[in-house]
Chain A
Amino acid sequence: MTRLLPSVNALRVLAAYGAAVLLFVIGEWVHPGFASFGSVTSILLVASFVGLVAAGQCFVILIGGIDLSVPWVLNAAAILLVTTSLGEDGRALYAVAATLGMGALAGLANGIGVVWFGVPAVVMTLAMNGIIEGLALGLSGGMTCSTCASYAPPVIAAAVHDVWLGIPAALWLWLAVIAVVSFVLSLTRFGRVTYAIGNNARAAYLAGINVNLTTVGLYALSGLFSAMAGILLVGFGGQASLGMGTPYLFQSIAAVVIGGVSILGGSGSYLGAAAGAASLTALVSVLLALNMPDYGRSIIYGVVILALLLLYGREQRE
């Protein structure tokens, strides 16, 4: 492996952070107070939901896969959390465990479908999204069940909103996830194996790596992170609603790609993807501060992603 690669990747990560900082500067310029400490932390709090989903998405994209089941795994997690906890602190632990288990199980099924049944990742995770959607809608009676209107337990709301050392708790959680995921990816065997599979699955197999098991594990992790984002989102907003997961699919993929992770797998880091999530959320906030109508936000969003891609996301000429 050429030693040039890490430095190119480091540049991409720096570019993603640069974009985030630039957006906050622009925000401060058009809307004084935008870059104040309170405003930055609240924007980053919103970014943490995308960031968590992007962690799972990053894992599967690193091995050249993709997870399209994010929207309904997240949404089902939110519904499951409120319906099992019923807003009571005493049931919160059990509800969180059940919800995270559901997410991991959905991811596990994705992985099994991809690995042992040979279904392309796009198809498997797309189908899983539909399967979970049907189950979530059917079992909750289209969110008409008596427990569906429950609120998140106060302890979970506190775990999102409570401020420690000036920073909301969910943001601390995200920082911890960034640290752990970055550590796992860059300094553990599991991380090395992940990059190896992404670079060349066959070579990794011949080198004695258990490609199948690792792949299944990575998809399970992706489901777990989607469920975690769902839990925090309920804690943030208070209640679950239908369609709350929809924006997170494209945002998580965009964050990962803006953060310099190759969509073909094998290169990139979660540090970059986290910066991608921050810059995407900052961009949306700047446009909102400018009172940009819906359509304008949508167009500029696409243009900025394209501009960043053209800047550093190009395939190397062979």
Chain B
Amino acid sequence: MPSDLAIRPHAGPAAARCRPPIAHALGQNAGLILAAVILLLCIAGFAAMFWLQQQRLPGNFEITSTVNNTMPLALAAVGQSIVVLTRGIDLSVGGVIDLTNALAAIWLTGSVLHMAGVSVLIVLIGAVAGLFNGLLVGLGRLQPIVVTLATLSIFQGLAIRVLPQPGGAVPPGYTDVLVNPNQPTALVFLVIAVAGWMALRRSRLGVGIFAIGNDESSAVALGVNAMRTKIAAYMIGGALYALAGLFLAANATAGDATTGDGYTLSSIVAVVLGGVNLFGGRGSAVGAICGAFITTMIVNILFFSHINPLYQSFYEGLFLVIAVVFGALIGRLVRGRR
């Protein structure tokens, strides 16, 4: 990238070893910490604005609806971050969410057992969609961006075949379990996702994901199976997009084969705001979750600032650029203190 053109003396591993542990942790997690700070600032800004207009702090209702509305994006962003960490990118997110959302709307009926079985099946379908992407990228040695562009079209087509018109119905009981409209219980699922991420990044597979994202040929030389790792990353991604599709259906209590389309780009935005490096190897799914919530908070803040909703994309785009520029600046300052 042009910004890296200035040739700096390379700080070798010896320099890294000399840094105190706290500075090291700061440097390694600069993206995540920054995302968390931005999120806290957004929450504080929103609370202040809410206070000014309603003379009270955001309560249970506001928190619950924010969490429920963000769940699909948060899950999609976790999936996207795992793919991005391998130095890939997944544009088929929208298609997988469309497809799983459509399937959820027509299959989710009957007994609890049936619905649980259907949910598992839908998540598996998402994983199979990811497997398809992974095989093309890993085995077919095709570029992720073009592969997933093509599969996006395929999955969107399948979704419209499954549910030509918006409709179907999701039983209220299912909605209550996934996105309880009265309490922010959906946070439990996020905690599970974070726990899963913690386990993954310490596993052999997780180390492999980071390794091929940093330097694929070195990773392969050290015995990482790049093909299998990539396939697994896309499969985990696909399963998470399917979960996002389920949460989207539960939240809307109906299905629509096109509502998922926007998640392709918004999941990338969330990942970037979450401090995950788009060139792979650096970042955290926790950051991606923060990024998803930042996105929602920005929309909330814009709503409460009484800004003409037509200008919403303008402010979102502006915010994205500013956040990334300042993020890079602060990241450089933190890393520059080595």
Which of A68, A202, A294, A306 interacts with B160 by CB under 8 Å? Answer: A294
Contact (Cβ within 8 A) B151 A302? yes
Bound together, the chains give a CA A123 to CA B327 distance in angstroms of 13
Q: Mark B144-171, 1 if CB is under 8 A from A, else 0.
A: 0111011111101111110010000000
B320 within 8 A of A: yes
CB distance from A233 to the nearest CB of B (A): 21
B1 lies within 8 A of A201 (CB): yes
Tell me whether A18 is interfacial, beta carbon within 8 Å.
no
**Complex contact A313–B142 (CB within 8 A):** yes
Which range holds the interface residue count of chain B?
Answer: 35 or more
- Known contacts A137-B310, A315-B143, A302 near B1 by CB under 8 Å: no
B150 touches which of A132, A134, A201, A306 (Cβ 8 Å)? A306
Does B96 sit at the interface, judged by CB under 8 A?
no
**Contact call B321/A124, Cβ cutoff below 8 A:** yes
Q: Identify the closest chain A residue to B144 (Cβ).
A: A263
Q: Given contacts A115-B3, A317-B141, are A127 and B279 in contact (CB under 8 A)?
A: no
Shortest CB distance A109–B (Å): 9
A299 to B43, CA, bound (A): 42
Q: Is A297 located at the chain interface by the 8 A CB criterion?
A: yes
From B4, B89, B146, give the contact of A309 (CB < 8 A). B146
Residue A113 at the B interface, CB < 8 A? yes
Docked complex Cα distance between A162 and B146 (Å): 36
A295 touches B160 (CB 8 A): yes
Considering only CB atoms and an 8 Å cut-off, how many residues of chain A contact the other chain? 57
A-B contact number at CB 8 A:
170
Residue of chain B at shortest CB distance from A144: B310
The reply to whether B146 and A313 contact each other, CB–CB distance below 8 Å, is yes
Which residue of chain B lies nearest to A201 when distances are taken between CB atoms in the complex?
B2
| A239 CB within 8 Å of chain B | no
Q: Is the CB of B317 within 8 A of A127?
A: yes
Q: Which 9 A-B pairs have the closest CB atoms?
A: A134-B314, A130-B317, A298-B157, A118-B3, A302-B153, A299-B157, A302-B154, A131-B317, A134-B313
B interface with A by C-beta (< 8 Å): 1-5, 89, 136, 140-143, 145-147, 149-154, 156-161, 164, 217, 265, 268-269, 272, 278-279, 308, 310-318, 320-321, 324-325, 328
29 examples of A-B residue contacts, CB within 8 angstroms: A119-B321, A119-B325, A120-B272, A126-B269, A126-B320, A127-B318, A127-B324, A129-B317, A131-B317, A133-B314, A134-B317, A135-B311, A135-B314, A138-B311, A201-B5, A211-B2, A215-B2, A253-B149, A254-B149, A297-B157, A299-B161, A301-B150, A302-B154, A305-B149, A305-B153, A306-B151, A306-B154, A313-B143, A315-B143
Residues of A participating in the B interface, judged by any CB pair closer than 8 Å: 66, 68, 113-115, 117-120, 122-124, 126-135, 137-138, 141-142, 201-202, 205, 211-212, 215, 250, 253-254, 257, 263-264, 294-303, 305-306, 309-310, 313-315, 317-318
